[in-house]
Structure 1
Amino acid sequence: MKSGLQRRLLLLLLMPLSLFALISIYFDYQAAGNAALLQDQQLRRLVPLLADSVVAPGRTALDEPVMLLAPPVEDFIKARDGFTGFRVSDASGRFLAGEAWISLVVPATAEPEFHSMEENGVTYRVVVQRVKTVAGELIVQLADGSDARQQWVRSVLFKVLLPNFLLVIAAGFAVNWAVTLALKPLLDLKDAVERRSPRDLSAIDPAGTPTEVRPLVASLNRLFHLVNDQAEGQRRFVADAAHQLRTPLAGLQAQVEAWAQAVNAPAAHGQVTLSADKILRLRSATRRTSQLANQLLALSRADASNIAGQPLQRVDLKDLCEAVLALHLDAAMAKNIDLGLEVQAAQVSGYEWLLRELLGNLVDNAVKYSVPGGTVTIRCGHARNDAGADQVFLEVEDNGPGIPATERAKVLERFYRVPGTAGEGNGLGLAIADEIARVHRTQLTLQPASRADGGVGGLRVRLCMSPAA
């Protein structure tokens, strides 16, 4: 924005400056022409006086005549000392008096004639005339090296082009300073808008902006108000949807669980029992639907654009691991899985509820896909990266079937499940964990778990972050 306005202002200033320079050159040329015309007229008036300066002929025809310069001619030569001269020649052109360096020009008529010559880098304007004197018919020449038209190029260089060039350079610095100063409120407004988080839709104070920009600020404020209303409506919808979706699913699941228990109980007094197969399928579908709803809501909440404006918290990973372990103990015991902890004191800056969601999904996946009697371990602590810097890690390791190397990148995609995977699932657990990792400016790493016998198998999912300051 700033550079664009600078270019415009520079262009708008350089165009009239260039036009003024051309006009100045034109008038300077006209002035030089007028001065040259006056100079020609002066030379024309001095030629007869130069001829009258011949007061007597020489003793012989070969001797130079006796000359006594007329005062106007003498004053003219003294005023331009080094840039004037005269020559007196006889009718045949033989040099008699004056400066021999003045080239002879024999006039064709008795009228004064003008021509130009160059000597020692100086261009002279020369008037020549054939006149009758006391010494007979002579050719007199008067040269002047101060002709305005001959010096016009130098005059244009030093009086027009150079001053205008310096003026343009000075104008460039002045425009840059003036534009920077004049656009500072506008640039501050741009920086303030750029620094805003997507969730900060508060109105901009128009008092600190220039008058010309206030209509734009008012339009932005109206846009912020509309977007804020829309975002608030979406937040209310998500909250309402979460409540309205979770409540009936929880009730439905409770009733299905009760029916499943009734199916497993022996029939009494001739009562007809429900179909166990149908009830179990219904319970399984209800559980998947409830889990899917919860995971979709968690995925929506974990979206980076939704939490960019929320402040970071100091999260104790050891406490987090212990809390998540307690939540999954029942599920692990139901499958006779050894769910354990290997934790050290470690703290990071992040979003506690998101990291809890991430760890919960990893533990839930490990318990769900591990074989009965398997082992799942939750770990956190400090480690060194390849560059030797201290990092905090959070990981879940199991000795289940693992994930083939060719599938590890795909399982982080939403709704993707490894072909042939047994058990219930929606393919969102690792996708949610990966989204949360990106929110924390890191990524999940999936590797085979190390076994005590030296082999590999199962899966180890690790998240590395910088320690809290």
Structure 2
Amino acid sequence: MPPVMLPHIESSRGMIWGLQRRLLVMLLFTLSAIGTVSVLVHYQTASTAALQQDQRLLKLVPMLADSIIVTSNKSAGFMEQAPPGLNETVEGPGMAMLLAPPVEEFLSDGPGLTAFGVFDARGSHILGERWLPTVLPATREPEFFSMTEGGTTYRVVAQRVASDMGELIVMLADGSDVRQHWLGNVLLRVLLPNLLLFAVAAAVVTWGVARTLRPLIDLKDAVENRSPRDLSALSTANIPGEVLPLVESLNRLFKLVNAQTEAQRRFVADAAHQLRTPLAGLQAQVEAWAQATRGMSGDHHISLRADQVRRLRDATRRTSQLASQLLALSRADAVSADAQPMHRVDLMELCENMISLYLDAAGRKQIDFGLEVQPAQTLGHAWLLRELLLNLVDNAVKYTPVGGRITVRSGEEQVPSGSAVRAWMEVEDDGPGIAAHEHERVLQRFYRVPGTAGEGNGLGLAIAHQIARAHRVPLQFDTGVQGRGLRVRVTFEAVTH
């Protein structure tokens, strides 16, 4: 069964950050909408106040017109005592103004922000402020307009009225128009506090969303950092209720896949183990037959039978090796899944023992089998590392041509970018080698490079790769001496004491 691969985590990361962005955008958009509504409400309040101001001016204009009194001396004018209930007069040429209390109150409440004016029908100034503009209403209906004087915007009402002196134009001006201060009020009372609130709320919301999503991000990290072959259950501690059903479903899936994988691994291991004993007996019998027919010659039938026995011997050897490799692969899978504790392993001793195992096989092909070792130790599973090296050496002996060279090495090296020390071992030969584009494919089970001479099952490098993965290290491929052959190195963390 191929290894169970979990989905690539980039999409998960994008989903989590996308969810966080959506939450932030929704919350911050809500805050922005509240601020906008606040500005609109403030503007509506200012408009309502301005309308009330216009209505007030509209009520005061007739009172101002009624305050105009004709004097007896029209040439010089004089001060006339005000009747009870009226303030003192404001005199002019041939007229006086006895201001009614509401008008007096209006003019005295906002000194410097209120004004009045009286003009004749042609617009000539008679009383009041001279800076008021000449406005000639076409009808007797009041007319409103705005003007700026001395940096202040005034709301002005002008109305044509009839008096004892004939037709006059009266004006009232109010500089406390709330609309001219609306922008400043909005900046100071609405926008600035809302912007400050928005900044604080954005920081708090960002922190809150990140903290709320922290369990989900931890779950993503837990899935991302585990081995593709690690099918143990995910922890449900601190998992939000909304995500808990998903985690429980994943755990059920992991349990089913793990049970299926374990059953398949156990079947392969049991089958390989059961096959080893009868295959060993069969191989012993065939080896004996082959030894007995080695000296026979002359008779065609005898030669034919000897050839058949040799073929049977080779087939038996391959079958026996396949059973051993399947058993080794199953054991490597079991270690990867169970994460058994590691112990100190002497790589130099492993290499030295391998020479004695393959010295006869290399001698039959007249291969120069050499050993270049330095002391090197690491933490690992000794029996698995022995199986790894055995498969690398077996491949080298199998595919190196007659008269070739194989070298087994071990040693330690300093990491260039730090003070760490690495332990390594490698097998180098001058055989056909493996093309760079085939390096990934030869690690697959039962794959053989097309056109490869010799007999094999396509499991040697796959077993070595699985054992290297169990030790969390890769197989490193390179060319051999003088650009020929193949060199396979495995590098570990060294144990120096």
Q: TM-score range by the shorter chain?
A: 0.7 to 0.9
- Residue 463 of structure 1 corresponds to 489
- Residue 361 of structure 2 corresponds to 331
User: Among 383, 400, 408, which residue is 1:378 paired with?
Assistant: 408
2:137 partner SS = coil
1:325 partner SS = helix
Distance 1:277 1:351, change over 3 A: same
TM-superposition CA deviations, 1:178-215 (whole Å, max 9, x none):
22233333333333333333444343454533333332
Alignment partners' CA distance in 2, 1:215 and 1:431: 37
Alignment partners' CA distance in 2, 1:212 and 1:408: 48
Q: What aligned pairs does 1:103-252 form with structure 2 within 5 A after superposition?
A: 103-133=133-163, 136-206=166-236, 208-252=238-282
TM-superposition CA deviations, 1:323-354 (whole Å, max 9, x none):
21232234345556664433221123455444
Alignment partners' CA distance in 2, 1:386 and 1:10: 45
Alignment partners' CA distance in 2, 1:186 and 1:351: 36
Alignment partners' CA distance in 1, 2:346 and 2:184: 82
Query: Structure 1 residue 25: deviation in Å?
Result: 4.7
Alignment partners' CA distance in 1, 2:435 and 2:24: 59
Give the aligned CA root-mean-square deviation in angstroms: 4.0
- Residue 32 of structure 1 corresponds to 46
Count the aligned residue pairs. Answer: 453
Alignment partners' CA distance in 2, 1:38 and 1:387: 79
Does the alignment pair 1:59 with 2:87? no
- Residue 426 of structure 2 corresponds to 395
Query: Structure 1 residue 274: deviation in Å?
Result: 8.9
User: What are structure 1's unaligned runs of at least 5 residues?
Assistant: 449-455
Alignment partners' CA distance in 1, 2:341 and 2:108: 90
Q: What aligned pairs does 1:261-300 form with structure 2 within 5 A after superposition?
A: 261-264=291-294, 275-295=305-325, 298=328
Query: Structure 1 residue 98: deviation in Å?
Result: 2.1
Alignment partners' CA distance in 2, 1:18 and 1:125: 33
Query: Structure 1 residue 227: deviation in Å?
Result: 1.9
Does the alignment pair 1:444 with 2:488? no
Distance 1:340 1:75, change over 3 A: same
Distance 1:460 1:394, change over 3 A: farther
| TM-score, normalised with respect to structure 1 | 0.79
TM-superposition CA deviations, 1:194-251 (whole Å, max 9, x none):
3333444343454533333332332223222212211221221221232133333223
Distance 1:463 1:107, change over 3 A: same
Alignment partners' CA distance in 2, 1:198 and 1:460: 29
Distance 1:42 1:379, change over 3 A: closer
Alignment partners' CA distance in 1, 2:431 and 2:451: 8
Does the alignment pair 1:94 with 2:127? no
TM-superposition CA deviations, 1:144-201 (whole Å, max 9, x none):
1223345445555554444444443333222212222333333333333333334443
2:478 partner SS = strand
1:128 partner SS = strand
Query: Structure 1 residue 371: deviation in Å?
Result: 6.7
User: What are structure 2's unaligned runs of at least 5 residues?
Assistant: 1-14, 78-91
1:140 partner SS = strand
TM-superposition CA deviations, 1:266-295 (whole Å, max 9, x none):
79xxxx999211111111121123234434
Distance 1:309 1:140, change over 3 A: farther
Alignment partners' CA distance in 2, 1:335 and 1:3: 61
| TM-score, normalised with respect to structure 2 | 0.75
Contact 1:363–1:396 under 8 Å retained in 2: yes
Distance 1:213 1:394, change over 3 A: closer
2:408 partner SS = strand
Query: Structure 1 residue 321: deviation in Å?
Result: 0.9
Percentage of matched positions with identical amino acids: 56
Aligned residue type for 2:45: A
Contact 1:350–1:440 under 8 Å retained in 2: no
- Residue 257 of structure 1 corresponds to 287
2:215 partner SS = helix
1:212 partner SS = coil
Query: Structure 1 residue 137: deviation in Å?
Result: 3.9
Contact 2:116–2:171 under 8 Å retained in 1: yes
Contact 1:186–1:209 under 8 Å retained in 2: yes
Contact 2:290–2:310 under 8 Å retained in 1: yes
